[in-house]
Amino acid sequence: MPCTVIAGAFWGDEGKGKIISYIALKDKLDVCVRTGSVNAAHTVWFGGKRYALHMVPAAFVYEKCRLLIGAGANVHVAKFLEEVEATSVKNRIGVDQQASIIEEKHSLQDKTSAHLKGLGTTGWGIGPAVEERVRRTAKLAKDISELQPYLTEVSTEANKAIDAGKKVLLEGTQGLMLSLFYGTYPYVTGRDTSASAICSEAGVGPTKVDNVLVVFKAFVTRVGAGPLRGELTKEEASERGWFETAAGTGRDRRSAPFDFELAKKAAMIHGATQAAVTKLDVLYPECKGARKHDALSKEAKQFISKIEEQTGVPVVLIGTGQDALDIIDRRK
Protein backbone atom coordinates (compact mmCIF):
# COMPACT_ATOMS: atom_id res chain seq x y z
CA MET A 1 0.00 0.00 0.00
CA PRO A 2 -0.87 2.84 -0.85
CA CYS A 3 -1.28 1.28 -4.33
CA THR A 4 -1.30 -2.48 -4.78
CA VAL A 5 -2.09 -4.45 -7.91
CA ILE A 6 -3.53 -7.95 -7.49
CA ALA A 7 -2.87 -10.25 -10.43
CA GLY A 8 -3.49 -13.94 -11.08
CA ALA A 9 -0.64 -16.26 -11.98
CA PHE A 10 -2.26 -19.13 -13.85
CA TRP A 11 -5.64 -19.52 -15.61
CA GLY A 12 -7.71 -17.51 -13.17
CA ASP A 13 -9.52 -18.96 -10.18
CA GLU A 14 -6.45 -18.63 -7.99
CA GLY A 15 -8.55 -17.17 -5.21
CA LYS A 16 -8.02 -13.48 -5.90
CA GLY A 17 -11.49 -12.73 -4.48
CA LYS A 18 -10.57 -14.18 -1.12
CA ILE A 19 -7.23 -12.36 -0.97
CA ILE A 20 -8.81 -9.04 -1.96
CA SER A 21 -11.62 -9.39 0.58
CA TYR A 22 -9.09 -10.14 3.31
CA ILE A 23 -6.93 -7.13 2.43
CA ALA A 24 -10.01 -4.90 2.25
CA LEU A 25 -11.02 -5.82 5.79
CA LYS A 26 -7.57 -6.04 7.33
CA ASP A 27 -6.02 -2.92 5.78
CA LYS A 28 -9.24 -0.89 5.69
CA LEU A 29 -8.96 -0.25 1.97
CA ASP A 30 -10.07 3.15 0.76
CA VAL A 31 -10.53 2.37 -2.94
CA CYS A 32 -10.76 -0.79 -5.03
CA VAL A 33 -10.83 -0.66 -8.84
CA ARG A 34 -12.04 -3.72 -10.68
CA THR A 35 -10.80 -4.38 -14.22
CA GLY A 36 -11.75 -6.92 -16.87
CA SER A 37 -15.28 -8.09 -17.35
CA VAL A 38 -18.18 -10.33 -16.50
CA ASN A 39 -16.46 -13.57 -17.58
CA ALA A 40 -14.52 -13.60 -14.32
CA ALA A 41 -16.22 -14.67 -11.11
CA HIS A 42 -14.46 -13.69 -7.89
CA THR A 43 -15.60 -15.81 -5.00
CA VAL A 44 -15.90 -14.15 -1.63
CA TRP A 45 -17.10 -15.83 1.56
CA PHE A 46 -18.32 -13.28 4.00
CA GLY A 47 -20.59 -13.47 6.99
CA GLY A 48 -21.29 -17.13 6.24
CA LYS A 49 -22.49 -16.20 2.74
CA ARG A 50 -20.90 -16.97 -0.61
CA TYR A 51 -20.71 -14.35 -3.35
CA ALA A 52 -19.49 -15.05 -6.89
CA LEU A 53 -18.90 -11.54 -8.18
CA HIS A 54 -18.81 -10.82 -11.89
CA MET A 55 -18.81 -7.03 -11.70
CA VAL A 56 -18.69 -5.63 -8.17
CA PRO A 57 -15.14 -5.38 -6.72
CA ALA A 58 -14.33 -8.06 -4.14
CA ALA A 59 -13.45 -5.36 -1.60
CA PHE A 60 -17.17 -4.66 -1.07
CA VAL A 61 -16.89 -6.55 2.23
CA TYR A 62 -15.27 -3.49 3.83
CA GLU A 63 -18.19 -1.10 4.03
CA LYS A 64 -16.14 2.10 3.81
CA CYS A 65 -14.31 1.12 0.63
CA ARG A 66 -15.11 3.10 -2.52
CA LEU A 67 -15.71 0.64 -5.35
CA LEU A 68 -14.87 1.47 -8.96
CA ILE A 69 -14.95 -0.15 -12.37
CA GLY A 70 -12.16 1.09 -14.61
CA ALA A 71 -12.29 2.60 -18.10
CA GLY A 72 -10.67 -0.50 -19.57
CA ALA A 73 -13.43 -2.76 -18.28
CA ASN A 74 -16.45 -4.09 -20.17
CA VAL A 75 -19.61 -3.57 -18.15
CA HIS A 76 -22.53 -5.98 -18.28
CA VAL A 77 -25.34 -3.66 -17.22
CA ALA A 78 -27.86 -6.23 -15.95
CA LYS A 79 -25.24 -8.16 -13.98
CA PHE A 80 -23.85 -4.94 -12.56
CA LEU A 81 -27.27 -3.76 -11.34
CA GLU A 82 -28.10 -7.19 -9.93
CA GLU A 83 -24.86 -7.38 -7.95
CA VAL A 84 -25.09 -3.78 -6.73
CA GLU A 85 -28.44 -4.76 -5.25
CA ALA A 86 -27.19 -8.06 -3.78
CA THR A 87 -24.20 -6.41 -2.10
CA SER A 88 -26.00 -3.16 -1.14
CA VAL A 89 -23.24 -0.92 -2.50
CA LYS A 90 -25.38 1.52 -4.48
CA ASN A 91 -24.08 4.57 -2.62
CA ARG A 92 -20.37 3.73 -2.95
CA ILE A 93 -19.82 2.25 -6.38
CA GLY A 94 -18.81 4.10 -9.55
CA VAL A 95 -18.29 3.16 -13.19
CA ASP A 96 -15.93 4.98 -15.50
CA GLN A 97 -17.89 6.85 -18.15
CA GLN A 98 -15.63 5.39 -20.84
CA ALA A 99 -15.93 1.75 -19.77
CA SER A 100 -17.48 -0.13 -22.66
CA ILE A 101 -20.64 -2.19 -22.59
CA ILE A 102 -20.93 -5.91 -23.14
CA GLU A 103 -24.32 -6.82 -24.53
CA GLU A 104 -26.54 -9.83 -25.11
CA LYS A 105 -25.63 -9.81 -28.81
CA HIS A 106 -21.95 -10.30 -27.89
CA SER A 107 -22.85 -13.32 -25.82
CA LEU A 108 -24.86 -14.70 -28.72
CA GLN A 109 -21.97 -14.15 -31.12
CA ASP A 110 -19.62 -15.83 -28.65
CA LYS A 111 -21.86 -18.88 -28.22
CA THR A 112 -22.58 -19.34 -31.91
CA SER A 113 -19.00 -18.95 -33.15
CA ALA A 114 -17.51 -22.38 -33.78
CA HIS A 115 -14.04 -20.92 -33.33
CA LEU A 116 -14.74 -19.35 -29.94
CA LYS A 117 -16.67 -22.41 -28.83
CA GLY A 118 -13.63 -24.50 -29.67
CA LEU A 119 -11.53 -22.38 -27.35
CA GLY A 120 -13.99 -23.07 -24.57
CA THR A 121 -14.90 -19.45 -23.82
CA THR A 122 -17.23 -18.61 -20.99
CA GLY A 123 -19.91 -17.56 -23.48
CA TRP A 124 -20.34 -14.10 -21.94
CA GLY A 125 -19.23 -12.46 -25.17
CA ILE A 126 -15.87 -11.03 -24.16
CA GLY A 127 -14.16 -11.53 -27.52
CA PRO A 128 -16.99 -9.99 -29.57
CA ALA A 129 -17.38 -7.09 -27.11
CA VAL A 130 -13.68 -6.28 -27.29
CA GLU A 131 -13.78 -6.58 -31.08
CA GLU A 132 -16.57 -4.08 -31.20
CA ARG A 133 -14.67 -1.71 -28.98
CA VAL A 134 -11.63 -1.95 -31.22
CA ARG A 135 -13.91 -1.23 -34.20
CA ARG A 136 -15.02 1.85 -32.26
CA THR A 137 -18.69 1.09 -32.49
CA ALA A 138 -19.16 -0.11 -28.89
CA LYS A 139 -21.50 1.62 -26.49
CA LEU A 140 -19.86 3.24 -23.51
CA ALA A 141 -21.13 3.47 -19.95
CA LYS A 142 -22.04 7.13 -20.48
CA ASP A 143 -24.52 6.08 -23.21
CA ILE A 144 -26.57 3.91 -20.84
CA SER A 145 -29.41 5.49 -18.90
CA GLU A 146 -29.33 2.99 -15.99
CA LEU A 147 -25.65 3.78 -15.42
CA GLN A 148 -26.04 7.56 -15.17
CA PRO A 149 -26.10 7.62 -11.33
CA TYR A 150 -22.83 5.71 -11.20
CA LEU A 151 -20.71 7.55 -13.78
CA THR A 152 -17.34 8.88 -12.73
CA GLU A 153 -13.78 9.22 -13.97
CA VAL A 154 -11.99 6.33 -12.33
CA SER A 155 -8.47 7.39 -13.30
CA THR A 156 -8.97 10.75 -11.55
CA GLU A 157 -10.48 9.18 -8.44
CA ALA A 158 -7.78 6.52 -8.20
CA ASN A 159 -4.87 8.91 -8.74
CA LYS A 160 -6.24 11.47 -6.30
CA ALA A 161 -6.60 8.76 -3.68
CA ILE A 162 -3.04 7.52 -4.28
CA ASP A 163 -1.65 11.06 -4.10
CA ALA A 164 -3.48 11.58 -0.82
CA GLY A 165 -1.77 8.48 0.61
CA LYS A 166 -4.97 6.45 0.68
CA LYS A 167 -4.99 2.70 0.26
CA VAL A 168 -5.87 1.75 -3.27
CA LEU A 169 -6.12 -1.73 -4.73
CA LEU A 170 -6.33 -2.54 -8.43
CA GLU A 171 -8.22 -5.81 -8.86
CA GLY A 172 -7.03 -7.92 -11.77
CA THR A 173 -9.19 -10.66 -13.22
CA GLN A 174 -8.16 -14.05 -14.62
CA GLY A 175 -4.50 -15.05 -14.70
CA LEU A 176 -1.39 -14.49 -16.75
CA MET A 177 -1.80 -17.75 -18.71
CA LEU A 178 -5.09 -16.38 -20.09
CA SER A 179 -3.39 -13.17 -21.28
CA LEU A 180 -3.94 -12.32 -24.91
CA PHE A 181 -0.22 -11.49 -25.10
CA TYR A 182 1.54 -13.84 -22.67
CA GLY A 183 -0.84 -16.77 -22.27
CA THR A 184 -1.40 -20.01 -24.15
CA TYR A 185 -2.69 -18.33 -27.34
CA PRO A 186 -5.19 -18.91 -28.91
CA TYR A 187 -6.57 -20.50 -25.72
CA VAL A 188 -6.71 -17.17 -23.92
CA THR A 189 -9.18 -14.43 -23.11
CA GLY A 190 -9.73 -11.24 -25.13
CA ARG A 191 -7.40 -8.99 -23.15
CA ASP A 192 -4.02 -8.77 -21.53
CA THR A 193 -4.20 -9.85 -17.89
CA SER A 194 -0.74 -8.73 -16.77
CA ALA A 195 -0.23 -6.28 -13.91
CA SER A 196 0.68 -3.56 -16.41
CA ALA A 197 -2.60 -4.05 -18.24
CA ILE A 198 -4.51 -3.94 -14.95
CA CYS A 199 -2.92 -0.54 -14.26
CA SER A 200 -3.75 0.60 -17.76
CA GLU A 201 -7.41 -0.41 -17.44
CA ALA A 202 -7.66 1.49 -14.16
CA GLY A 203 -5.84 4.57 -15.46
CA VAL A 204 -2.95 4.37 -13.01
CA GLY A 205 0.63 4.78 -14.25
CA PRO A 206 3.45 2.37 -13.33
CA THR A 207 5.25 4.92 -11.15
CA LYS A 208 2.19 5.07 -8.87
CA VAL A 209 2.28 1.40 -7.98
CA ASP A 210 4.09 0.26 -4.83
CA ASN A 211 3.20 -3.37 -4.78
CA VAL A 212 2.30 -6.09 -7.23
CA LEU A 213 0.87 -9.08 -5.45
CA VAL A 214 0.70 -12.22 -7.58
CA VAL A 215 -1.82 -14.83 -6.48
CA PHE A 216 -0.96 -18.51 -6.80
CA LYS A 217 -3.19 -21.40 -5.92
CA ALA A 218 -1.48 -24.41 -4.30
CA PHE A 219 -2.40 -26.45 -7.39
CA VAL A 220 -3.28 -25.36 -10.92
CA THR A 221 -6.72 -25.41 -12.55
CA ARG A 222 -8.10 -24.28 -15.87
CA VAL A 223 -11.52 -24.27 -17.51
CA GLY A 224 -11.96 -24.38 -21.26
CA ALA A 225 -9.57 -25.84 -23.81
CA GLY A 226 -5.79 -25.47 -24.16
CA PRO A 227 -2.61 -27.00 -22.79
CA LEU A 228 -2.21 -27.90 -19.12
CA ARG A 229 1.08 -29.49 -18.14
CA GLY A 230 0.79 -32.44 -15.76
CA GLU A 231 -3.00 -32.59 -16.13
CA LEU A 232 -4.71 -35.12 -13.88
CA THR A 233 -7.76 -37.16 -14.77
CA LYS A 234 -10.99 -36.16 -13.06
CA GLU A 235 -10.69 -39.28 -10.87
CA GLU A 236 -7.14 -38.40 -9.78
CA ALA A 237 -8.20 -34.83 -9.08
CA SER A 238 -11.15 -36.00 -6.97
CA GLU A 239 -8.93 -38.38 -5.01
CA ARG A 240 -6.61 -35.53 -4.12
CA GLY A 241 -9.50 -33.24 -3.29
CA TRP A 242 -8.53 -30.89 -6.13
CA PHE A 243 -11.62 -31.28 -8.24
CA GLU A 244 -13.46 -27.97 -8.61
CA THR A 245 -16.22 -26.52 -10.74
CA ALA A 246 -16.14 -22.98 -12.11
CA ALA A 247 -17.70 -20.27 -9.93
CA GLY A 248 -19.10 -18.53 -13.01
CA THR A 249 -20.11 -21.15 -15.54
CA GLY A 250 -20.31 -24.27 -13.35
CA ARG A 251 -18.04 -26.16 -15.75
CA ASP A 252 -15.56 -28.76 -14.47
CA ARG A 253 -12.15 -27.30 -13.79
CA ARG A 254 -9.23 -29.33 -15.10
CA SER A 255 -6.38 -29.60 -12.63
CA ALA A 256 -2.63 -30.19 -12.37
CA PRO A 257 0.08 -29.92 -9.74
CA PHE A 258 1.65 -26.54 -8.95
CA ASP A 259 3.84 -25.50 -11.88
CA PHE A 260 6.99 -23.75 -10.66
CA GLU A 261 8.07 -22.74 -14.16
CA LEU A 262 4.77 -20.99 -14.86
CA ALA A 263 4.89 -19.40 -11.42
CA LYS A 264 8.31 -17.98 -12.23
CA LYS A 265 7.11 -16.61 -15.55
CA ALA A 266 4.03 -15.03 -13.97
CA ALA A 267 6.10 -13.41 -11.22
CA MET A 268 8.46 -11.98 -13.84
CA ILE A 269 5.90 -10.55 -16.24
CA HIS A 270 3.69 -9.17 -13.47
CA GLY A 271 6.78 -7.66 -11.85
CA ALA A 272 5.59 -9.20 -8.61
CA THR A 273 6.92 -7.85 -5.31
CA GLN A 274 4.80 -10.15 -3.15
CA ALA A 275 2.92 -13.41 -3.55
CA ALA A 276 -0.09 -15.08 -2.03
CA VAL A 277 -0.71 -18.82 -2.03
CA THR A 278 -4.32 -19.92 -1.65
CA LYS A 279 -5.87 -23.28 -0.74
CA LEU A 280 -2.80 -24.57 1.04
CA ASP A 281 -5.21 -26.61 3.19
CA VAL A 282 -6.34 -28.53 0.11
CA LEU A 283 -2.78 -29.73 -0.41
CA TYR A 284 -2.02 -30.10 3.30
CA PRO A 285 -5.28 -30.77 5.19
CA GLU A 286 -3.45 -30.59 8.53
CA CYS A 287 -3.04 -26.84 7.87
CA LYS A 288 -6.76 -26.10 7.66
CA GLY A 289 -7.70 -22.91 9.43
CA ALA A 290 -4.09 -22.08 10.44
CA ARG A 291 -3.58 -18.38 11.04
CA LYS A 292 0.09 -18.50 12.04
CA HIS A 293 3.05 -19.69 9.97
CA ASP A 294 4.31 -21.73 12.92
CA ALA A 295 1.12 -23.77 12.80
CA LEU A 296 1.98 -25.13 9.35
CA SER A 297 3.41 -28.63 8.92
CA LYS A 298 7.03 -29.08 7.84
CA GLU A 299 5.93 -30.17 4.34
CA ALA A 300 3.69 -27.15 3.91
CA LYS A 301 6.47 -24.80 5.01
CA GLN A 302 8.85 -26.46 2.56
CA PHE A 303 6.37 -25.99 -0.26
CA ILE A 304 6.05 -22.29 0.51
CA SER A 305 9.85 -21.92 0.72
CA LYS A 306 10.25 -23.62 -2.64
CA ILE A 307 7.83 -21.15 -4.25
CA GLU A 308 9.82 -18.29 -2.78
CA GLU A 309 13.13 -19.73 -3.96
CA GLN A 310 11.92 -20.44 -7.48
CA THR A 311 10.11 -17.16 -8.06
CA GLY A 312 12.29 -14.86 -5.97
CA VAL A 313 9.14 -13.37 -4.46
CA PRO A 314 8.20 -13.53 -0.76
CA VAL A 315 4.95 -15.35 0.01
CA VAL A 316 3.23 -12.94 2.39
CA LEU A 317 -0.31 -14.29 2.45
CA ILE A 318 -1.29 -17.95 2.75
CA GLY A 319 -4.88 -19.11 2.46
CA THR A 320 -5.84 -21.99 4.76
CA GLY A 321 -9.64 -22.05 4.46
CA GLN A 322 -12.55 -20.51 2.62
CA ASP A 323 -13.41 -17.66 4.98
CA ALA A 324 -11.84 -14.27 4.23
CA LEU A 325 -10.05 -14.43 7.59
CA ASP A 326 -8.62 -17.97 7.19
CA ILE A 327 -5.22 -16.62 6.28
CA ILE A 328 -1.64 -16.42 7.47
CA ASP A 329 -0.46 -12.85 7.11
CA ARG A 330 3.33 -12.48 7.05
CA ARG A 331 3.33 -8.85 5.93
CA LYS A 332 5.20 -6.45 8.15
Q: Looking at residue 211, what DSSP letter applies?
A: E
CA distances from 64 to 7, 129, 151 (A): 23, 32, 19
Max Cα separation, the chain?
Answer: 57
Please, which of residues 221-250 interact with Mg ion by CB under 5 A? 247
87 vs 173, beta carbon nearer ligand IMP: 173
326 flagged as catalytic? no
- CB–CB of 24/32 below 8 Å? yes
Q: Of Mg ion, ligand IMP, none, which one sits near residue 127, judging by CB under 5 to 8 A according to partner kind?
A: ligand IMP
Residue 31's φ and ψ, nearest 5 degrees, are -140, 140
Nearest Cα residue to 220 out of 15, 19, 5, 36: 15
Query: 143: which residues sit within 8 A by CB, 6+ positions away?
Result: 101
Nearest Cα residue to 257 out of 218, 306, 313: 218
42 flagged as catalytic? yes
Question: What whole-number distance in Å separates Cα of residue 72 and Cα of residue 35?
Answer: 7
Minimum CB separation of residue 72 from ligand IMP in Å reads 15
Among 84, 101, 126, 168, which residue interacts with ligand IMP (rule: CB under 6 A)?
126
Please, which of residues 18-47 interact with Mg ion by CB under 5 A? 41
Please, which of residues 133-192 interact with ligand IMP by CB under 6 A? 173-174, 178, 187, 189-190
Is residue 124 a contact point for ligand IMP (CB under 6 A)? Answer: yes
Is residue 120 a contact point for ligand IMP (CB under 6 A)? Answer: yes
Nearest Cα residue to 279 out of 193, 211, 195, 221: 221
223 vs 316, beta carbon nearer ligand IMP: 223
189 vs 274, beta carbon nearer ligand IMP: 189
Residues in contact with ligand IMP, total (CB under 6 A)? Answer: 21
Question: What whole-number distance in Å separates Cα of residue 289 and Cα of residue 328?
Answer: 9
Is residue 13 a contact point for Mg ion (CB under 5 A)? Answer: yes
Minimum CB separation of residue 12 from Mg ion in Å reads 5
Catalytic positions are 13, 42
Residues that bind ligand IMP (CB under 6 A): 11-13, 39-41, 119-122, 124, 126-127, 173-174, 178, 187, 189-190, 223-224
Residues that bind Mg ion (CB under 5 A): 13, 41, 247
